[in-house]
Chain A
Amino acid sequence: MKIRFFLLLICSLAFADEHTDWQTQSYKQSKHLPDLHHAVDVKLSDEMQPPAEFVLKEGRKITCETCHGLEKIAETAYDKIDKNAPDFLRKDGYKKLEIFCANCHAKKAHERPNIHLMLNDDGTLKKANCLFCHSEINEQRDKKRNLADAKLRLPVEKVCLACHLKTPHFNAVEHTDTKLAADSKSSARNMKEHLKTLETEKGIRMPLGENGAVLCVTCHSPHPEGVLASKNPTGRQVPGDAKKGVEYEKHSWSEVIEADKRDRLEKLAATLPPYQRIKNEVLLRLPAKDGALCLSCHEFEN
C-alpha cells in the first residue's frame, strides 16, 4: 500500500503543473473548460427555449452566466469558484443534473431505451436491443454458452459500464475489484466451489471473469426472464417484472439504522440513503431479498 501511495505521489507531482495551470486562471484567461463541461459561445437553435433565468448573449449564444448564477464567474479563477454556492448552477442544478439539463434539452428525446426489455409481446427477440451489447445475435437460446462465445462488443467486465456507473450501488466496487483466482486463499477457493456446486446441483450459473473476477453479471442477469431458456443455467433467475424494475418500500428499520450511523456520518459530513426493503427484484440470478444471492458465495462458521 505504501509503495502504491509513493508511486502515485511521484506521478501526481510530475504532472502537477499541467493540472493546476488552468485552474489558477479564469475561463477568460485560459479559455479552458473543465472536463465534460458544456460548450460555451455556441448559438442556440430557435426551437430551444431556455427558461428566463438562463440569460443568453446577443445572438442567442451561451455564456458561463447562462447556467451559472455566480457573478463574474468567467473572470474568476477556477480554484476560487465556490462550487457549493446555492446559485453555482441556476435552478438547483446539482439536485438532479438531468433535470437541470432538461431546462433546455427535451428530456424525452434524450432518454435511453431500456435495452434489458428484450422481448416483444409475442415472445420474439427485440434484436436491436441484443445488438447494443452483442455483435451477433444468439439464436440458440436454450444452449449453454461461455462468456467467451457471447460476442460482446466490449470486454465483459466493461460492457455494463457503457451505460451504468462503476458504482451503481454500495458494495459494487468491493465485489468487482475481487478476483477469486485459483491460487488465492481458502475462502476464495470455497467461493469458487460454491458457485460450481450451484451450477451442477441447482442449474444456476453465476459466471466469473478472467482469474475468477467477480463481474456485474455474476449476480445480475442482463437478460430478462424468457430471453434465455429456463433450463439454460445462464438463463435461470429470479422471476420478476423487468418493466417495473427494482422496487423498494419504506421500512421501520430505517430509523434504527439512521440512528446507528448518525455519528459516523456526521464526522464524514456525508449521508446514506435510508434503509428500504426490496419489494420487487428483477434481473438477479438468485433472490437477494432472502439472502440466497449472498449465500451463494459467502459462508460463515457460526
Chain B
Amino acid sequence: MIFRAVLLIILVVLSNLAFAVDAKTDNAWWEKRNQKSDVYYPHNAHLEVMKEEGDSCLLCHSYAKTANVDIKKLKNLTVIANEPLKAVCHACHVDEQRAPWRCDVCHTDKERIQPPDHRFDYKNHHNEAARGNEKNCQTCHLDVNFCTDCHLRRDTSGAGYHPLGYRTLHGLEARFDSARCGRCHNENYCSDCHATR
C-alpha cells in the first residue's frame, strides 16, 4: 500500500510536469481558433451584423447550461458547440442571400469545394449535367449571370475564351465544326452579324 501511495505521488508530480510541457508546446485553445482553415471568417465584420440582429458570439459559440460532468465527453461536445459549419454560414450567405453570396468571399480555394467532376475541362463538358439538373448547379452558382455571361454573350474579343482577333479568324473553324460553336453560342449569335451583310 505504501509502495502504491509513493507511486501515485511520483506519477502525479510527473503528470503535472508533463502538463507544463504540454502547455508550453501546444497552442492554447483560443489560438487554435485563429488558425485559418479552408474558410475565411472575418470575426470583426460579423460582429457588427450580429449585433444589429440581436445575436452575438453566443450564436456560434454555445454557453448553454449543461449537466454533463464528464469533462472528456463535454470537451468533445464543446468542439461541436463552438464550431459552426455549412448550415449556419449558408443560412445567411446562400439560403437567404442576406449576406454576400459569392463562394470565393469565404472559400478562398475553390478547388476545395468544387465537385470532383469539375476538375477536368468541365467548362466544355457541362452541357449534359446542366440540362439534366439545373437546380444542382444552382446550389453553388446562385447568380444566373454565371450561365448567361457565356451563353448569351456577344463580346467575345479579349474576353478570355477565344484568342484575341478570333472574330476575324473564326470563319474556317466555324465551317469545319459549327456544332462546337453551338456549345456556347445560339444561332442568333451568328445571324446577328452574318444575315445583315
Check if B81 sits within 8 Å of A272, measured CB to CB.
Answer: yes
Interface segment among B38-46, B119-127, B173-181: the answer is B38-46
- Check A24 for interface membership: any CB of B closer than 8 A: no
Question: Majority SS of interface residues in chain B?
Answer: helix
Shortest Cβ gap from B73 to chain A (Å): 7
- Check A112 for interface membership: any CB of B closer than 8 A: no
Question: Majority SS of interface residues in chain A?
Answer: mixed
Q: With A8-B15, A290-B51, A300-B43 as given contacts, are A174 and B80 in contact (CB-CB < 8 Å)? A: no
B77: nearest chain-A partner, CB-CB: A270
Check if B54 sits within 8 Å of A277, measured CB to CB.
Answer: yes
Chain B proximity mask over A275-299: 1 for CB below 8 Å, otherwise 0: 1111000000000111100110010
Which of A187, A257, A302 meets B44, CB within 8 Å? A302
A96: nearest chain-B partner, CB-CB: B67
Which of A10, A165, A170 meets B62, CB within 8 Å? A170
Check if A14 sits within 8 Å of B26, measured CB to CB.
Answer: no
Check if B4 sits within 8 Å of A14, measured CB to CB.
Answer: yes
**Residues on A with beta carbons closer than 8 Å to the beta carbon of B47:** 291, 295
Check if B29 sits within 8 Å of A174, measured CB to CB.
Answer: yes
Cβ-closest 9 pairs across A and B? A260-B87, A291-B56, A300-B43, A3-B18, A273-B64, A259-B87, A302-B42, A294-B57, A4-B18
Chain A positions within 8 Å of B, measured between CB atoms, are 1, 3-4, 7-8, 10-11, 14-15, 165-174, 178-179, 184-185, 187-188, 253, 256-257, 259-261, 264-265, 268, 270, 272-273, 275-278, 288-291, 294-295, 298, 300-302
Chain B positions within 8 Å of A, measured between CB atoms, are 4, 7-8, 11, 14-15, 18-19, 21-23, 26, 28-31, 34, 42-45, 47, 50-51, 54-59, 61-69, 71, 73-78, 80-82, 84-88, 91
